[in-house]
Structure 1
Amino acid sequence: MHGIKVLMAKTYIDNLSEEARKGEMEKAEQGIWPTKAPLGHLNVTGSDGKKVIAPNAELAPRGRLI
């Protein structure tokens, strides 16, 4: 019985992972930034209603590569 429950849990997790990947790919294809904006940028809503990123005037100069 334990083996069956483990198999069902693995199937659920694999399906959830696949659906999340598909959702992020769909957003990327539509030109929508799918996650939180990187340092020095802000999440904003564009004129077409899509969420995009824009430079943050206050934090952008402080961003640096490590």
Structure 2
Amino acid sequence: MSTPELHWFKSSYSSSNEPGDCVEVAVASAAVHIRDSKTPHSARLAVAPSAWVNFLAVVGERR
């Protein structure tokens, strides 16, 4: 089985002041993938879409 290529984008929650200081996100059907833009080929975090939605709700409350 082949793995589809992920399409990464800068999270809107990342700082716009520091171009190299970003979190990148890629959404797939089974998981949301998160990585540090400074080290895109290193470790990634993958969470269930529902966990990502809950995380964004908490972050949004603190903005």
**TM-score when normalising by structure 1:** 0.25
Q: Which has the higher helix share?
A: 1
- Structure number with greater Rg is 1
**TM-score when normalising by structure 2:** 0.26
